Copies of this chain bind each other. A is one copy, B any other.
């Protein structure tokens, strides 16, 4: 096989990887979404609430960094969660530019009930692989992701 053909095959392989990656995550996401939907939350709202539940109060700006959405979107999501009484805004006394998002009692109670179930749902959704296969995939995905990120 000459170099050109070899290169073409490699390109096909990468393209296939990209497609399979996209499809696999789509399937998983769909299941996770189903798991969350009954709470009246979408994945973004859940992610924000989970962040505050697990990591404590967060400046609104930090939320966007960790959940990877734009600042204008964060405002929107926090608004929604605030309307649902699951979190509230609390101004920072030391820096008046900053607003913290703080989980409410209702939010904590909801997550106490729901988060364990959520984890076990993801466990079931990902049961197509053995534990050691998952560990390897995590490692490889990190390699792949960090490389792409660093470009």
Contact = CB atoms under 8 A, between A and B. Distances in A.
Interface of A: 10-18, 20-32, 68, 119-120, 122-129, 131, 133-138, 140-149, 151
B134 A151 contact: no
22 contacts: A11-B120, A13-B135, A14-B122, A14-B125, A15-B123, A16-B138, A17-B126, A17-B137, A18-B28, A18-B122, A20-B142, A21-B24, A21-B137, A23-B141, A24-B144, A28-B144, A30-B148, A125-B148, A126-B144, A128-B148, A129-B143, A137-B141
Query: Majority SS of interface residues in chain A?
Result: helix
A28 B19 CA distance: 11
Contact of A31 (B20, B126, B148): B148
Given A11-B122, A21-B137, A128-B145, 6 more contacts: A11-B123, A24-B145, A27-B149, A124-B151, A129-B147, A136-B140
